[in-house]
Amino acid sequence: MSNVHDQLGVEPVINAHGTVTVLGGSIMAPAVLAAMADAARAFVDVAELHRRAAARIAATLGVEAACITAGASAGLTVATAALVARGRPEVLAALPDIPLLPDEAVADRVVVLASHRMAYDRAVRVAGARFHQVEAADLTTAVARPDVAAAFYAAHLAEQPGSLPLQEFAAVAHRHGVGVLVDAAAELPPADNVRNFLAAGADLVVFSGGKEIGGPQSSGLVLGATEPIGRCQALVTPYDGVTRGMKIDKETIVGLMTAVELWWNRDHAAVARERQRMVDTVVATVGTLAGVTAWSGFPNAPGVQPIGIPRAYVRHDGCTATELRDVLRTGRPSIVVGVEEDRIAINPQCLQPGDLEPLLAGLLAVLSGR
């Protein structure tokens, strides 16, 4: 237990669930923490730091432009406000109220497929936009409306019934001059997704900085072309409008920049092999227990992210998956796993050096005692 957690009486857990916010996202590398500490030692022009760090991130990832935000949710709000306002200062100043300008009505609707509605999409509405929810068959008619400012696409719901491929969705929107915003918060790996969604037609795509990238939990990225990203950049700092509460500190800016560089340049194939090794070890260890079925696989339940990381799936004949999850959570050490349909899912993404042995011991104790 770390000293500060010990002082507070908060017990760390073995995270076999993933980069979920309720468990702290990810663990930052020593180089990221050192960069943040270094950034804390001086005053700077934060707006200039924002721009320069974002430009370096864009160069690292091989995209045209980037904007750093206070998490992926803030990124959705910033991107939506940029698409609604389209650089007009009088609109930016009024958001989340949508003003009626002397010469035109400001478009305030965001088209979304019914299959892409979710809890986190309220970040779009925070900017003052209204959702116009449609079925796929009605998309063309919907984006042709004059009051439509953007079209929203949730990447993790792309396989839901009633969805459309992003390339088709974006093509329809673009034929009517409507920009496409993609929520890809946890859509890493694969690393190439930082460019894949843009190549498929997204104008702005949002990623979390505190998940697979390994940056500060309260950091995010909006990626896209120079012009719309410039509008996003005007909203992040030191802007005092609707996104003021989403401002980001100099330490987090530098921390995310450093994390992106470390993540992009690491051996992704070696990371994938190690994750598969841990999954295979779990399956081999518990799969021979009486009443236990264990196998390796990739997520196929709706909305589970990221789909590119293998899981060890475990089912026990004597209890439900939620019962297994709860027993593991209350054990010592506390082990947090996911539940997908009728089995627990053990995700190796956040397992730290030294976690595998106590994880296996905890699983064996619980599963053999059922």
DSSP assignment string, 28-90: PPHHHHHHHHHHTTS---HHHHHHHHHHHHHHHHT-SEEEEESSHHHHHHHHHHHHHHTT-HH
Would residue 177 count as lying in a domain? yes
Q: What local confidence, expressed as pLDDT, does residue 305 receive?
A: 86
Co-location of 216 and 311 in the same domain: no
If asked whether residues 204 and 105 sit together in one domain, one would say yes
Could you tell me if residue 32 is inside a domain? no
State whether 235 and 118 are in the same domain: yes
- Are 156 and 121 contained in the same domain? yes
Residue 241 pLDDT: 87
CATH number, domain containing residue 311: 3.90.1150.180
Task: For residues 275 and 243, state if they share a domain.
Answer: no
Same domain? For 259 and 180 the reply is: yes
Residue 101: the pLDDT is 65
Q: Whole-angstrom Cα distance, residue 170 to residue 210?
A: 27
Element (H, E) at 226: helix 226-236
Q: What is the dihedral of CA 15, 183, 246, 87, to 10 degrees?
A: 160
Q: Look up residue 247 and give its DSSP letter.
A: -
The H or E element that residue 345 is part of is strand 343-346
Given 265, 293, 309, the domain boundary residue is 265
Show the domain range for 180. 43-265
Among 277, 220, 300, which residue's Cα sits nearest to residue 54?
A: 220
- In this prediction the pTM is 0.94
- pLDDT for the residue 74: 97
Residue 25 lies in a domain: no
Identify whether residues 248 and 273 lie together within a single domain.
no
- In a domain? residue 211: yes
Q: Are 101 and 124 in contact (CB under 8 A)?
A: no
231 and 274 fall within a common domain: no
Identify the domain boundary among 221, 237, 265. 265
Same domain? 67 vs 79: yes
User: Residue 2 has what pLDDT?
Assistant: 64
Q: Is the dihedral of CA 298, 303, 304, 309 positive or negative?
A: positive
List the pLDDT tens digit at each of the 370 positions of the chain.
Answer: 568 888 899 999 999 999 999 999 999 999 999 999 999 999 999 999 999 999 999 999 999 999 999 999 999 999 999 999 888 888 888 889 887 665 566 789 999 999 999 999 999 999 999 999 999 999 999 999 999 999 999 999 999 999 999 999 999 999 999 999 999 999 999 999 999 999 999 999 999 999 999 999 999 999 999 999 999 999 987 788 899 999 999 999 999 999 999 999 999 999 999 999 999 999 999 999 999 999 999 998 777 889 999 999 999 998 999 999 999 999 999 999 999 999 999 999 999 999 999 999 999 999 988 5
CATH, residue 157? 3.40.640.10
Q: Is residue 36 part of a domain?
A: no
Question: Same domain, yes or no, for 223 and 274?
Answer: no
Residue 212: closest CA among 266, 149, 169: 266
Residues 169 and 283 in one domain: no
Task: Provide the number of structural domains found in the chain.
Answer: 2
Domain match, 229 and 123 both: yes
